[in-house]
Amino acid sequence: MSNASTVGPVRLWRLLGRYAPHLIVLGMLFAFGVGVSFAPSILVFSIFAVPMILVASIAILVAAVVSLLRGRGKLAIWQGAFVPLLLIAPWPLLLSGQYAGWIGHLLVCEPFYEAQISKLDSAKNDRLKLFDWGSYLIFNDIYLAYDESDELRWPESAEPRAFQARLASQIVDPHWDVEAHLWGHYYIVDGHS
């Protein structure tokens, strides 16, 4: 085997080894977001997520110091710059992971939801059904909502009174926000006081 044919794979392997901690941390943040969407409570989940982010930040900071001591100044700067980014801005990855988790949750359980919805009266094409998906901490409840009339797309203040009354009969909290429109007539609704 010639030396020229091994340069590419060897260089790629070194790059992966150098940036593997960063990729692992980014993947963990995305995975935490997916986990939040399946967790019955974000409080329980954050007991594990927050320390993991802090441990990863400390590990990357230690790697930056080691790189600096070995004379790799550029690498140390890049590693050191990643720590504030990890501590300050994990939200886009968490939120995109959470959205992916909601989609996965719906895909896995959709036959059950469709069976429940098919039991509702479909004469007026305004079927509304909420499925409890847990809560954020202890304040907000998360629901998967099936709204055949798609009135959940409107702000709460613009929704017709009759629709608000039907929704209020199924939701514990007095106010709600639509977190996301997943697809079709499925929405994620955040109920809060």
Domain boundaries, the chain: 3-93, 120-192
169 against 113, higher pLDDT:
113
The owner of tokens 């977001």 is 33
144 against 43, higher pLDDT:
144
- Distance from C-alpha of 152 to C-alpha of 49, rounded to nearest angstrom: 32
Question: Are 133 and 105 in contact, with CB atoms under 8 Å apart?
Answer: yes
Strand-pair partners of 128: 147
**pLDDT tens digits, residue range 73-129?**
888 888 788 777 767 766 676 677 778 888 888 888 889 999 998 888 776 667 888
The owner of tokens 């896995």 is 108
| DSSP symbol at 124 | T
- Residue 112's pLDDT is 92
What radius of gyration do the chain's Cα atoms show?
23
Indicate the pLDDT class of residue 133, thresholds 50, 70 and 90: confident
- Please, where are the H alpha helices in the chain? 3-38, 42-69, 73-88, 91-118, 161-168
